[in-house]
Structure 1
Amino acid sequence: MRALILSLALALTPLAPALAVQPDEVLPDPALEARARELSKVLRCPVCQAENIDESNAELSRDLRLLVRERLVEGDSDQEVLDFVVARYGEYVLFKPDASGTNLILWLAGPAMLLLGLGAAAVYLRGRKSAPEPTVAGLSEDERKRLAEILKE
């Protein structure tokens, strides 16, 4: 039975999330640690770019995790911590940037392009529907004779 449980645990280990938070980073206060984890999940690793800093093993992510925890211990609110990190590294570190200012263009560009594409497709299909059917010319007498010769062979 032990062997079965051990083999099952080993088989499922790759499916577990690989959190990169080191034991020396964990705050003694569980409430602050929970806040730090939540903030770490919304901050993008500037090195990895596809991982949040909670899951990234990059050295810069470790520095950011420590910075977030340091700011929380100093008494900053969650928004103040995010503002501090964004002021230092830019809005790129946010997985979900605010939909305001120049970011509004990026937020609206996708749906606008979709609507433009659908409109262009509708115009194209409407034009094809109302276009006259092409006339097909029949075979000339020489072509019919040649076709008959080919079919006989």
Structure 2
Amino acid sequence: MNREQLITLISEKLKLIRTEKDLTQDQMSDLLGLSKKTLVQIEKGRIYTGWTTAVAICALCRESSILQHELGGDPLEVVDLIANNGTLHPKEKTMGGYIWWKNLSEHKGYRLQQNVISQHFRILDTNNFRLLSTFDESIAKQEWVKFQE
């Protein structure tokens, strides 16, 4: 996934996200710092959000089941990956990947997984902490080799 794909997805789902949060157009436009006219234009598919607005929606609506379903988990992880050119090395606790993740390989409790929706890869340690996230399969496999030594 790239910026344009995320912007398109957020723009197309904005009305559903707003109604899921039970917000009026006035409330949502105020929350996002947009004019109501701009919000209406986005919701009608006439224009797309910008990158900053898409990121704000992911941050402010992080718990949205619509966003989580469309992005395969935490929306901010996908934003972070895109903003950082596709690779992250944080050590963040995860849920272990029981819904949107398939295990590609496992060794001594470490797991290489791929998100079934966004298609990005990650490596988890034995306690479900994320050691790496990347869209680049070659980077994921290169890092995975280190855990098998």
TM-score normalised to structure 2 length = 0.25
- Pick the structure with more strand per residue: 2
- Pick the structure with more helix per residue: 1
Q: Which has the larger radius of gyration?
A: 1
TM-score normalised to structure 1 length = 0.25
